[in-house]
Amino acid sequence: MENTIAAISTNNIGVGAINIIRISGSEAINIVSKIFSNKKFIDAPSHTIHYGFIKEKENIIDEVLVMLMRAPKTYTKEDVVEINCHGGYATTNKILELLLTNGATLAEPGEFTKKAFLNGRINLLEAESISDMLNAKTNLQSEMALSGLTGKTTKKIENLREKMVSLLANIEVNIDYPEYIDELQITKENISPILMEIKRELEKIVEESKNGQIIKNGIKVAIIGSPNVGKSSLLNTLLEEEKAIVTNIKGTTRDTVEGSINYKGILLHFIDTAGIRETNDVVEKIGVEKSRKAIDMADVIILVLNNNESLEKEEQMLLKQIEEKKGIIFINKIDLEEKIESFTTTCKIIKGSTLKNIGIDTLKETILNNCEIKDLSNKDLTYLSSTRQISLAKEALQNIEYVIEQNKKDIPVDMLAIDIKIAWENLGKIIGKFYEEELVDNIFSKFCLGK
Amino acid sequence: MIYDCIVVGGGHAGIEASHIAAFKNHKTLLVTSNKKNIGDMACNPSIGGTAKGIIVREIDALGGLMGKIADISHFQIKMLNNSKGPAVRSLRAQVDKVTYPKNMINTLENTKNLDIIESMVEDLIIEEQKVKGIILEDGTKILGKTIILTTGTYLKANILIGSENKEGGPHGERRSNLLSDNLKKYGLKIQRLKTGTPQRIKADSIDFTKMQEEKGDDTLWTFSCDNAPSYNPNEQQKCYLIYTNENTHKIILDNLEKSAMYGGYVTGIGPRYCPSIEDKLVRFKDKERHQLFLEPESLYYDEYYLQGFSTSMPRDIQEKMVKTLPGLENALITKYAYAIEYDAIDPLQIKASLESKIIENLFTAGQINGTSGYEEAAGQGLIAGINACLKLEQKEPLILKRNEAYIGVLIDDLVTKGTSEPYRMLTSRAEFRLILRHDNADLRLREYAHNIGSIREEEYLNTKKKKENLKQCEEFLKQQKLKITPDIKKKMSEKNITIPIKTESLYDLLKRPEITMSLLNEFIELPFESVILEEIEIHIKYEGYIKKTYKEVEKMIKLEEKKIPENIDYNEVKNLASEARQKLEKVRPLSIGQASRISGVNPSDIAILCVYLKKEYNKNE
> What's the pLDDT band for B205 if we cut at 50, 70, 90?
very high
d(CA B364, CA B414): 12
CATH architecture, range A5-122: 2-Layer Sandwich (3.30)
Min mean pLDDT across B11-20, B439-448, B510-519 is at B510-519
Tell me what pLDDT residue B136 has: 97
Contact A415 B417 (CB under 8 A): no
Domain spans in chain A, listed from the N-terminal domain onward: 5-122, 149-212+383-446, 219-298+300-370
Tell me what pLDDT residue A123 has: 60
Chain A nearest CA to B545, separation (Å): 8
A431 to chain B: closest CA residue: B603
Whether the per-residue pLDDT at B542 is higher than 50: the answer is: yes
Q: What is chain B's alpha carbon radius of gyration, rounded to the nearest angstrom?
A: 26
d(CA A190, CA A167): 11
**What is the per-residue pLDDT across B238-292, written as a single tens digit (0 to 9) for each?**
999 999 999 999 999 999 998 887 887 777 777 766 778 988 888 888 889 999 9
Tell me what pLDDT residue A252 has: 33
Contact A415 B293 (CB under 8 A): no
Chain B nearest CA to A178, separation (Å): 6
Q: B interface mutation test: which of A26, A176, A177, A181 has the most B CBs within 10 A?
A: A176
Per-residue HEC secondary structure of B43-55 comes to CCCEEECCCHHHH
Q: What fold does the segment set A219-298+300-370 form as a domain? A: Rossmann fold (3.40.50)
Helical ranges in B4-137 per DSSP H? 12-23, 52-61, 66-71, 99-109
Q: A interface mutation test: which of B44, B54, B88, B286 has the most A CBs within 10 A?
A: B88
Is the separation of the CB atoms in A10 and A19 below 8 Å? yes
User: CB-CB: which of B84, B275, B545 is closest to A450?
Assistant: B275
Q: A interface mutation test: which of B52, B426, B497 has the most A CBs within 10 A?
A: B426
CATH architecture, range B562-620: Orthogonal Bundle (1.10)
Chain A nearest CA to B233, separation (Å): 21
Q: Which residue in B338, B343, B422 sits closest to B163, CA to CA?
A: B338
B48 to chain A: closest CA residue: A176
Query: Using a CB-CB distance cutoff of 8 angstroms, which residues of chain A are in contact with residue B597?
Result: 436
CATH architecture, range A149-212+383-446: Up-down Bundle (1.20)
Chain A nearest CA to B206, separation (Å): 20
A441 to chain B: closest CA residue: B272
Average pLDDT of chain B, as a whole number: 93
User: CB-CB: which of B241, B428, B549 is closest to A176?
Assistant: B428
Contact A434 B284 (CB under 8 A): no
- Give the percent of chain B with pLDDT over 90: 74
Contact A175 B84 (CB under 8 A): yes
Higher pLDDT, B358 or A154: B358
Query: Using a CB-CB distance cutoff of 8 angstroms, which residues of chain A are in contact with residue B512?
Result: none
Contact B603 A124 (CB under 8 A): yes
Specify the length of chain A in residues.
451
Tell me what pLDDT residue B462 has: 95
Tell me what pLDDT residue A148 has: 53
Tell me what pLDDT residue A246 has: 38
**What is the per-residue pLDDT across B126-141, written as a single tens digit (0 to 9) for each?**
999 999 999 999 999 9
> What's the pLDDT band for B21 if we cut at 50, 70, 90?
very high
Query: Using a CB-CB distance cutoff of 8 angstroms, which residues of chain A are in contact with residue B431?
Result: 436
Tell me what pLDDT residue A254 has: 37
Higher pLDDT, B568 or B498: B568
Q: Which residues of chain A have pLDDT under 50?
A: 1, 13-14, 146-147, 149-150, 241-255, 277-279, 375, 377-381, 435-437, 443, 450-451
Chain A nearest CA to B110, separation (Å): 35
**What is the per-residue pLDDT across B451-505, written as a single tens digit (0 to 9) for each?**
999 999 999 999 999 999 999 999 999 999 988 888 888 888 888 888 888 888 9
Query: Using a CB-CB distance cutoff of 8 angstroms, which residues of chain A are in contact with residue B196?
Result: 451
**What is the per-residue pLDDT across A78-130, written as a single tens digit (0 to 9) for each?**
999 999 988 666 778 788 888 988 888 877 666 777 677 667 666 655 655 55
Query: Using a CB-CB distance cutoff of 8 angstroms, which residues of chain A are in contact with residue B271?
Result: 450
User: CB-CB: which of A414, A440, A448 is closest to B280?
Assistant: A448
What mean pLDDT comes out for the span B216-224? 96
The CATH number of B200-340 is: 2.40.30.260
Per-residue HEC secondary structure of chain A comes to CCCCEEEECCCCCCCCCEEEEEEECCCHHHHHHHHECCCCHHHCCCCEEEEEEEEECCEEEEEEEEEEECCCCCCCCCCEEEEEEECCHHHHHHHHHHHHHCCCEECCCCHHHHHHHHCCCCCHHHHHHHHHHHCCCCHHHHHHHHHHHCCHHHHHHHHHHHHHHHHHHHHHHHHHCCCCCCCCCCCHHHHHHHHHHHHHHHHHHHHHHHHHHHHHHCEEEEEECCHHHCHHHHHHHHHHHCCCEEECCCCCCCCCEEEEEEECCEEEEEEECCCCCCCCHHHHHHHHHHHHHHHHHCCEEEEEEECCCCCCHHHHHHHHHHHHCCEEEEEECCCCCCCCCCCCCCCEEEECECCCCECHHHHHHHHHHHCCCCCCCCCCCCCCCCHHHHHHHHHHHHHHHHHHHHHHCCCCHHHHHHHHHHHHHHHHHHCCCCCCHHHHHHHHHHCCCCC
Tell me what pLDDT residue A436 has: 44
Tell me what pLDDT residue A105 has: 82
**What is the per-residue pLDDT across A8-67, written as a single tens digit (0 to 9) for each?**
877 554 456 778 899 999 999 999 999 999 999 999 999 999 999 999 888 888 889 999
Highest mean pLDDT among A25-34, A352-361, B103-112, B192-201: B103-112
Contact B428 A436 (CB under 8 A): no
Tell me what pLDDT residue B484 has: 85
Highest mean pLDDT among A344-353, B76-85, B126-135, B557-566: B126-135
d(CA A95, CA A32): 10
Whether the per-residue pLDDT at B309 is higher than 80: the answer is: yes
Domain spans in chain B, listed from the N-terminal domain onward: 200-340, 467-529, 562-620
Is the separation of the CB atoms in A64 and A83 below 8 Å? yes
